[in-house]
Amino acid sequence: MATIAIYSLKGGVGKSTLAANLAWCAATRSSRRTLLWDLDPQAASSWMLGEDGGGERAHAVFSRDVPPSRLIRVTTIERLDLLPADASLRDLNHLFRTVAKKRRLARLLNDLGDHERVILDCPPGLTETADQVARAADLIVVPVVPSALSERAWGEVDRHLGGRTHTLPVHVMVDRRRALHLEALARHPDWPVVPMASVVESAATARRCVGEVAPRSLAAGAFDELWKRIEKRLV
């Protein structure tokens, strides 16, 4: 089993979008038994994968030793399961601090057993949750919108987490008509690129993955390429 976390200091940078689409790639393109574990109380990727929300149970895995397997749902996508988030995860940092076990999340992941790939959709911020994720993940994928401020945030993440775990920065929401975006791409020619594309948003609105609704689009190709890079980094 390999765990891939989608993480950033920042909100609104495309973490949940990456998490759902990469989980789709793992299950569909690589035929892996895959779990998307949503750790963000906003539950965006849970919603995209068909979870309607309103529950208050997700915290029980951390606060009451309810086995994660009890909360896992199948999705409409073959080989892709979901451990959904809900608003009860708003206190996740507090929960991790009160159990005072630095590898709590890593343990829970070890006990899952049945999945070959686990994708973690993480809440933003350099928090206790981020530290738990860094101890648990084999690879941390960090979406970076091309801008000086986002690059600084990436540097901060790499300093804080990079020493402990492998990280893979990815340029996302890239608009090649913008000079600043092209300059950022030139500074990091080795980073994978996901374009800004309306199909990404329209797929999310329809609660589908881009590979399902527009498999020939540039964006679908970018998610496929990124997933291949991730698989290569795991071996």
Ligand X SMILES: Nc1ncnc2c1ncn2[C@@H]1O[C@H](COP(=O)(O)OP(=O)(O)O)[C@@H](O)[C@H]1O
Does the protein bind ligand X through residue 167 (CB under 6 A)? no
Minimum separation from the CB atom of position 78 to ligand X (A)? 23
Show contacts with ligand X in window 18-37 (CB under 6 A). Answer: none
Binding Mg ion (rule: CB under 5 A), the pick from 4, 22, 44, 77 is 44
Does the protein bind ligand X through residue 196 (CB under 6 A)? yes
Q: Which stretch binds Mg ion (CB under 5 A): 43-51, 95-103, 130-138, 201-209?
A: 43-51
Question: For residues 31 and 202, which CB has a smaller minimum distance to ligand X in the complex?
Answer: 202
Binding ligand X (rule: CB under 6 A), the pick from 14, 84, 146, 169 is 14
Query: 13 touches which of ligand X, Mg ion, none (CB within 5 to 8 A by kind)?
Result: ligand X
Q: Who contacts 149 (Cβ-Cβ below 8 Å, separation ≥6)?
A: none
Distance CA 183, CA 146 (A): 9
Does the protein bind Mg ion through residue 15 (CB under 5 A)? yes
Does the protein bind ligand X through residue 204 (CB under 6 A)? yes
Q: Which stretch binds Mg ion (CB under 5 A): 39-47, 102-110, 163-171, 209-217?
A: 39-47
Minimum separation from the CB atom of position 53 to ligand X (A)? 15
Residue with tokens 């990469």: 22
Token readout for 129 is 């949750």
Does the protein bind ligand X through residue 17 (CB under 6 A)? yes
Query: 137 touches which of Mg ion, ligand X, none (CB within 5 to 8 A by kind)?
Result: none
Question: For residues 184 and 200, which CB has a smaller minimum distance to ligand X in the complex?
Answer: 200
Distance CA 81, CA 78 (A): 8
Question: For residues 40 and 51, which CB has a smaller minimum distance to Mg ion in the complex?
Answer: 40
Distance CA 85, CA 51 (A): 9
Binding ligand X (rule: CB under 6 A), the pick from 36, 49, 173, 193 is 173
CA dist 19 → 80, 141, 160 (Å): 12, 9, 22
| Site residues for Mg ion per CB under 5 A | 15-16, 40, 44
| Site residues for ligand X per CB under 6 A | 11-17, 44, 172-173, 194, 196-197, 200-201, 204
